Amino acid sequence: MKSILITLTTAFALLFAGCESTGVNTVSSATGGTDYAWYTPDSDTRKHVFVESVNTAKTEGGITKVQVVLKNKGGKERAFNYKFEWQDANGFAVRSATSTMKTVRLMPQETITITGIAPNPKAEGYTLKLVKTT
């Protein structure tokens, strides 16, 4: 039984390590915690669209809100869809009826501010997902 548990734990660790290497980008704070996470499967977007800043706050009702400033540092227009995927304090996905992809276009050297509001007070963590439009 113990060897099965170790095997499953190792398999999950390898699975998540493999997933992370495909495009999840994180920035750590000075205290060692993760300030934000964003994901894009497209290497072109990862090379040219950068997170300039991230601000988070809580509303009076305890809802998390996020403001992200993105910049296109490339030499051509970038178009992509984005959405915030929310997680609870344990890292489990929090479903949201309003979590749909939105389209944005960035001209070269342009910055844009996008915002997200958690679906309920239990949603504390988030990942910003960017998908290049075709």
pLDDT digits (tens, 9 = 90+) for 63-83: 999 999 999 999 999 998 898
- Sketch the domain layout of the chain as residue ranges: 25-132
Query: Which one, of 132, 84, 85, lies nearest residue 106 by Cα?
Result: 132
Q: Is the pLDDT of residue 105 over 90?
A: yes
CB atoms closer than 10 angstroms to residue 123? 22
Decide: 36 and 68 in contact? Cβ < 8 Å. Answer: yes
**What CATH number matches the domain at 25-132, 3.40.50.800, 2.40.50.100, 3.30.465.10, 2.60.40.3230?**
2.60.40.3230
pTM here is 0.69
The contacts of residue 25 (CB under 8 Å, 6+ apart) are 37, 38, 39, 40, 46, 51
